[in-house]
Each structure stands twice: as C-alpha cells, then as structure tokens.
Structure 1
Amino acid sequence: MTINLQKHSPQSQTLQPDRTSHPAPDVAIFLRELHGGGAEKVLLNLARGFIDRGLSVDLVLARASGHYLSQVPPEIRIVDLQAKWVPLSLPKLVRYLRQVQPERLLAALHYPCEIALWAKRLAGVSTRIVVTEHNHLSIESKRIPQLSVRLTPLAARLFYPWADEIVAVSQGVAEDLSRITRLKRDRIQVIYNPIILPELFTLAQEPVEHPWFRSGEPPVVLAVGRLHPQKDFPTLIRAFAQVRQVRPARLAILGDGPERERLIELIESLGLSNDVALLGFTQNPYAYMAKAAMLALSSEWEGLPTVLVEAMALGTPIISTNCKSGPAEILAQGRYGELTPVGDSDAIAAAILKTLAAPKRIIDPEWLNQFTWATCTQQYADILGVSQPKMK
C-alpha cells in the first residue's frame, strides 16, 4: 500500500515511515476530492488561509482529482490516497495518521467525516479530529434516493459524538444536526464559510467573452451550481419562461452535473433555446456575477450557499428560495435579497421581475465581515487549537 504526496510535481513521492522526511503538518484536511462543489471550494479557501498565516497544511484526498486541483497553492502538500471508492480510503488514512501523526485533522462532507473518526480509533493516535457539516442532512437524506445518502443521519448519530469538535456552517444546519445526532446544541459550533477572499474583487473585473454580457444586451439572470436535483433548476427555468413572456431577459447557468440532458430537454420544450444557456463549469464565476442583472438560487435545500455570499459581496442583486438552510441567514431574513418559497415558480418569476425593476440594495460592510476569509480562518484556527501567528 502506498500513499502519494505531491507538491505540484509530476513526480509523486511515496510516503515512507520516516517522519523526519515528512514532518507532521500544523493542519491536515481530509476530503473526497476537489470537484467543483461549494464545500470543496470552502475547504481550499481555508487551507490557503492557514498557509497565509504561516502554517503547514496537508490536503489529504481520497482521490486527487477535480476542477479545483489546479488551484491548490504549491505550499500545500497533497496526499493522494488513490482510493477508487471513498470507504477504501480508510486503511490508507489510518496509515497516514500513524506515520505522519498530525496534531489536528479537519474533515468535511460524508463520508470523509466518519472515515476520519474511524481512522483515528484504528490508528490509535491522539490527532484532534474536527468534523464539519455543510448540508441540511434531514432533508438531503429524504430527497436523494442513494442508500449511502439515506444513511448519513444514522452515521452522524453513531459517529459524530467521537469528534473532538463539531462545526456546522449555519445555524440551520447546527439545529438540524443536533436533532439528528441527539447531541446538545452547544456541542455544535457554528462557523460561517470563508467565502469573501481578497482576489474575489479582482477576478470579478475580468472580461466575460459570452456575448450576452456585453453592454446594451438584455439583462441576464445568473444561476451558479452543480446541475443536480438539489438545485432545482427546472423550477427556475419554468419561472424564467414566465419572465420572458413579460420582458426581454436571459438566463445563464454555470455548472456541470447529471441533470444537464434533462435541463436541455426542458429548455427546448419551453421554446427557450435562444434565451437560456447552460455554460458549464468555470474557474471564475465572479466575472459573470459582477456583470449579471441578478443571481438566482432555486435550491430545495442547502447548508450555507456560497454563491449568495459571493454575489452579495459583489453588490449583485439576489433572489433565493427560503430553503433550509442558509439563505435567510445570509440575506438577513430578506433584508439583502428576495426570499421565495421552495419549488414555487410563480413566486420566483415575480421576484425576478421585481428585482429587475428595483434599485440595488446597500449591504452593511459589518454584515459581510462575518463571511470574510480572515474572520472565518481565525475562528477555525481557534477551534482547531492552532497557535495564532499573525496574518502576512
């Protein structure tokens, strides 16, 4: 069994038992892979925050693949467990913990959180394990038919009590997790995601080549997210069909996923092929956000939707379903954006039309501060028990 460590070198290194050549990092972060999801982006942002504070970081991946892999800074050591299936990463993670013995490991998503907890027990090490919950589990487990997803509430109830610390990304997620696990609410800490990075504003100024975003074109409603049933893009597309009957506009959706063909069929059946575009995944959605007339989120459930914070920081008007959980917290119960019922295309259409006709809302900088890179990185450093070097 081998474990590969990489620092953006074409030559992978094999992890050997000699810890003098591979010293323990200040923080290890364990994920499945680095595909284009919000949670993966958040953990990468957090890793960058630790590096910026002068800490060493191991990014331990069940499989080193995904859109964000190219964005990993060279200072971060990538540990590729090369597991074809996430549960198969357990014995290699056990070996990593025994050999490297990091003082602390942060895990996110299912089942990396449960695997990390089991790995600590099997490895017999003192590594401090912090698990983070990014989704509203009780809804997710009912809406997605996969057995592995159906079992996540049970897995959390059985194994999350083993964690040294438990973090939820929103108050709604924390309350839901408390009910599922039967843990006291004060056992779960809430830390918002480190979303607002300094370069967000620079990236937002980059040009967008798509002709819809040129000056003088009809307003563009932008949606960003994986093409997955959770995001409920069919309801958004049906709502946009109503908007299109009232005034010229366009809908652009950034993201890839299993629902692509189904969404194309819906777009064609509604006669919207000239006004709705599925633009695929992009490394820089901020340039699109800054030039869009608004950002729309139609999700059936969330944890803390990253795109709402990004759009809010850029001053882009927002409409969102009032799903569990996160949108109401981010938008201050509707103060900073329109909230609509889940699955209601009529309400979404009305909110789009209202937002297109309304002036932009002014966001309190203090409100945005709770989602900044510096604030959230500090809160994670505190809960991980990392010393607090000064920011560079």
Structure 2
Amino acid sequence: MAAPGPRVLVVEGALRDNGGLRVSADLARRWQDLGARVRFLVLEDVAPDGPMFTPSEELDLRWGSDRVRRFRSSAPRILVNTLRQVRRADVVVSGSEVGYGLLIGWLAARIARKPFVVLVQSSLPRAVAAWTPARLRPLLTQVHQRVDAAICVSPGLVADVREVGVAPERIHSVDVGIDVAGTVEKVARTGGPVRSASGRTRIVSAGRLADQKGFDVLLDAVARVVSAGGDVELVLVGAGELDADLRARADLLGIADRVDFAGHVDDLQNRLAGADLFVLSSRYEGNGSLVLLEALAHGTPVIATDCPTGPRYVLRDGEIGDLVPVEDPAALADAVLAFLADPGPLRRKASGGPARAWDFDQGAAAVASARVLADLVR
C-alpha cells in the first residue's frame, strides 16, 4: 500500500473570483488527485466586491473566520484558526504573492515550524505596489525573502523574485496554464461559439476592470479603428472598480454603441471561441494571462501587448499571435486595422494556438509543483 501523500494547506484571503484564485484552487485539486491530502483555507467568509469564486466540491474548504466583520476585529480569531490548520499540515502554500493570506499564512507556518511556499502569479514589484498598503510593503518584502520556496507560474517572474532576495535554489518555475481539453469541450457542451449578430468584426477582451488590464488603452484603440472606418464591436467581459470610469470613457470617445460591457458571464469560453479577434491590452501579467491561453486553445486570432511577464513567451515572440507595445493605442489600432484589411496572416498564426495551449496544460504544472512540495516535506 502506498504511503499517504503530504498534508498541504493552501491559504487564500477571500473568494474573489480572479485568475490567481482559480489557479491556486485548480492546483490544489490536482495535487489532491496526485495523492496529497489538501485543505483549502480561506481567511474571511465575506462577499467580495465582484463575483465570488466557488471552489470545487472535491476540496476540503475551511474558513479562518466565518463571521462577517472588519478584518481588524477578525484578525486574532483568523490567526488562531489558521495556526490550528497549519499545525495539521506538512507544508503551507500561499496562493498569492500579496495580501493578508500571505502574511498570516507565513506567520502561522513560522510559529508551527512548517515549510512555507508562495505561488508567485504576478510581477512582485507591480503586485506589491498595486495591492499592498505602503505601511505593509517592507514587511511583505521580508516575508518574500524568507519563504522556503517560491513557485513562479512563468519563467519571466523569476528575475523579480531573485531581486527581492530569495535564494536561487528556492526559486522554481512551472508553466501554469489551463485545462485545455476541458476548455474546448465546454464550448461544445454549452451551445457552441457565440458570434456577432451585427455582422461587425467582433473583438473580445476579458479580465478584471482594473488598471493592470489596460482597458482604457483598448477603448482608445477601438475609437481610432472606428474613426478610420473599421466596422468593429468590442465585448468587454469582467467586473471591477473601473467599470464606471471605462463606461464614461467609451461615451466620451463616441463608441458607447460599439462596446458591450458584459460584466461577469458564465459563457466566456463560448464568447472566446466565437470571437473574430481576442485582444490582451494589459500593462503587466503573470504567466501571460489565462484568458490568452483560452483564446489560443480555441484557435482565435490574438493581438497582445508585449507586457511583462508572459505574452511574448506564450506567443513565441509573435509566431502564434501579434505583439504590440504597452500603452500604445495607435499601435494597437494599427494591428487591428491590419487584421481587418487582411485577416489571413493572423489567422494562420492562430492555427498554431491550440498546440501552443497544450504546452501550458495544467496537468504538467500540477505534477511539477507537487514535486516541489514533496521535496520540502522530505
């Protein structure tokens, strides 16, 4: 009889539906399939400012606090409950490189003398600046320097982790991605691709409506395309703090009738599969954006900003899709207009998208990261 796998505790702050949380939850489920005994600890049972993520029922979900109140008043209870869960684990994993989940998970792991791992899903300097109050940034850096292992979801993130001061032998890189087969099969199961009913060339983009995603630049580019005579429409999937600002910008640019702010949807894969063009306009990413990989899996033509730290790597220096400079609406508009004038070249690039997506299939990433955890336990 095989020995039981390591007891892994994955720590997250709250169930805010975002790419990072989906990655950590999916890896946790796959580690469980590989024999690990996994618990998924969420610090706060609060309604997030946006869609809530629902982990797989296969995961053993626990709460740091099931009382909805301000974090400051809940922190002692959360720390006690986290420490209780950490003592039962062999290794502790923070699903994010920032946030209270990282800080409390690290503190509890140190008290209990358990190995602590951080899953780095975004550029450390940018993530810290965007999501961490200034008073906590020095503390966060000290925690990063003291992790037992940092698992980067893309090779492009390794340099950032080294610069923080993590020893090279503690840094690992895996190509975290998507369930390619499941992504493609979902479209067939749920009615097929969703295509434009207007006859216009449909551009789809998706992500949290936040500064990182560069949707303001995308709107500016679409306005330039329309002004140049391009018959396009934009479907913007996602929710976030910039929703009102982006709607106002579209109205100011005179393209409100060309932009569908779809919000959070259940049929994203159908929309990606039915799009004429997918655009990634981000200022920075972690592994090149999961939705970029999903678009590639469907064979959808792609234009992406050459932002740190992943689209160039994912698109093989422009072999699988077109790359444009960051923060450059004119260059993005020119790329879209070139596609409208002759879609053939980009569609030929897109024909290699499904095979490229398989290079990032999540199964391989789960095996590689599980090996890191097992080595720490041994």
Shared fold (TM-score greater than 0.5)? yes
Question: Which structure features the higher share of helix residues?
Answer: 2
**Structure 2 unaligned blocks of 5 or more:** none
Q: 1:358 — aligned with what?
A: 343
SS of the aligned residue for 1:198 comes to helix
Deviations 1:98-152 (A, max 9, x none): 3551112211221222321111123xx243321111111223445x4x6x35467
Code of the residue aligned with 1:80 in structure 2: it is W
Deviations 1:65-104 (A, max 9, x none): 554543x222212111127556755753444443551112
Find the partner of 1:227 among 209, 221, 244.
209
| CA positional deviation for 1:295 | 1.1
Find the partner of 2:44 among 63, 69, 73.
63
| Contact 1:236/1:348 (8 A) holds in 2 | yes
Give the superposed CA RMSD: 2.7
| CA positional deviation for 1:219 | 1.6
| Contact 2:203/2:277 (8 A) holds in 1 | yes
* Bigger shift: residues 54-63 or 80-89: 80-89
Deviations 1:188-235 (A, max 9, x none): 11112231343211222333797xx24672121111001111112111
| Contact 2:148/2:170 (8 A) holds in 1 | no
Find the partner of 1:172 among 156, 170, 176.
156
Deviations 1:264-296 (A, max 9, x none): 111111221211111001233111100001111
Q: 2:236 — aligned with what?
A: 253
Q: 2:320 — aligned with what?
A: 336
* Bigger shift: residues 347-356 or 323-332: 347-356
Provide the rounded CA distance (Å) in 2 between the counterparts of 1:367 and 1:306: 13
| Contact 2:296/2:356 (8 A) holds in 1 | no
| CA positional deviation for 1:240 | 0.5
| Contact 2:278/2:301 (8 A) holds in 1 | yes
> Residues 150 and 222 (structure 1 numbering): CA distance in 2 closer, same or farther, change over 3 Å?
farther
| Contact 1:235/1:298 (8 A) holds in 2 | yes
> Residues 295 and 80 (structure 1 numbering): CA distance in 2 closer, same or farther, change over 3 Å?
same
Code of the residue aligned with 1:129 in structure 2: it is F
Q: 2:84 — aligned with what?
A: 98
> Residues 195 and 89 (structure 1 numbering): CA distance in 2 closer, same or farther, change over 3 Å?
farther
| CA positional deviation for 1:54 | 4.8
How high is the TM-score relative to the length of structure 1?
Answer: 0.82
Find the partner of 1:322 among 306, 311, 317.
306
Q: How does 1:145-294 map to 2 (within 5 A)?
A: 148-150=132-134, 154-179=138-163, 181-205=164-188, 206-207=190-191, 213-214=195-196, 217-245=199-227, 246-294=229-277
Code of the residue aligned with 1:102 in structure 2: it is A
Provide the rounded CA distance (Å) in 2 between the counterparts of 1:86 and 1:106: 21
| Contact 1:204/1:289 (8 A) holds in 2 | no
Find the partner of 1:117 among 88, 106, 111.
106
> Residues 321 and 383 (structure 1 numbering): CA distance in 2 closer, same or farther, change over 3 Å?
same
SS of the aligned residue for 1:274 comes to helix
What percent of counterpart residues are identical? 24
| Contact 2:283/2:307 (8 A) holds in 1 | yes
Provide the rounded CA distance (Å) in 2 between the counterparts of 1:196 and 1:355: 29
Code of the residue aligned with 1:98 in structure 2: it is R
* Bigger shift: residues 333-342 or 151-160: 151-160
Code of the residue aligned with 1:231 in structure 2: it is K
| CA positional deviation for 1:321 | 0.9
SS of the aligned residue for 1:116 comes to helix
| Contact 1:219/1:293 (8 A) holds in 2 | yes
| Contact 1:138/1:153 (8 A) holds in 2 | no
Provide the rounded CA distance (Å) in 2 between the counterparts of 1:363 and 1:282: 27
Provide the rounded CA distance (Å) in 1 between the counterparts of 2:38 and 2:223: 47
Q: Does 1:77 align with 2:60?
A: yes
> Residues 98 and 63 (structure 1 numbering): CA distance in 2 closer, same or farther, change over 3 Å?
closer
SS of the aligned residue for 2:256 comes to coil
SS of the aligned residue for 1:81 comes to strand
Find the partner of 1:139 among 121, 126, 133.
126
How high is the TM-score relative to the length of structure 2?
Answer: 0.85
| Contact 2:223/2:255 (8 A) holds in 1 | yes
* Bigger shift: residues 361-370 or 336-345: 361-370
> Residues 283 and 81 (structure 1 numbering): CA distance in 2 closer, same or farther, change over 3 Å?
farther
Provide the rounded CA distance (Å) in 2 between the counterparts of 1:152 and 1:127: 23
Provide the rounded CA distance (Å) in 2 between the counterparts of 1:171 and 1:329: 9
Provide the rounded CA distance (Å) in 2 between the counterparts of 1:25 and 1:381: 9
Provide the rounded CA distance (Å) in 1 between the counterparts of 2:270 and 2:69: 35
Code of the residue aligned with 2:125 in structure 1: it is S
Q: 1:35 — aligned with what?
A: 16
> Residues 178 and 61 (structure 1 numbering): CA distance in 2 closer, same or farther, change over 3 Å?
same
**Structure 1 unaligned blocks of 5 or more:** 1-22, 388-392
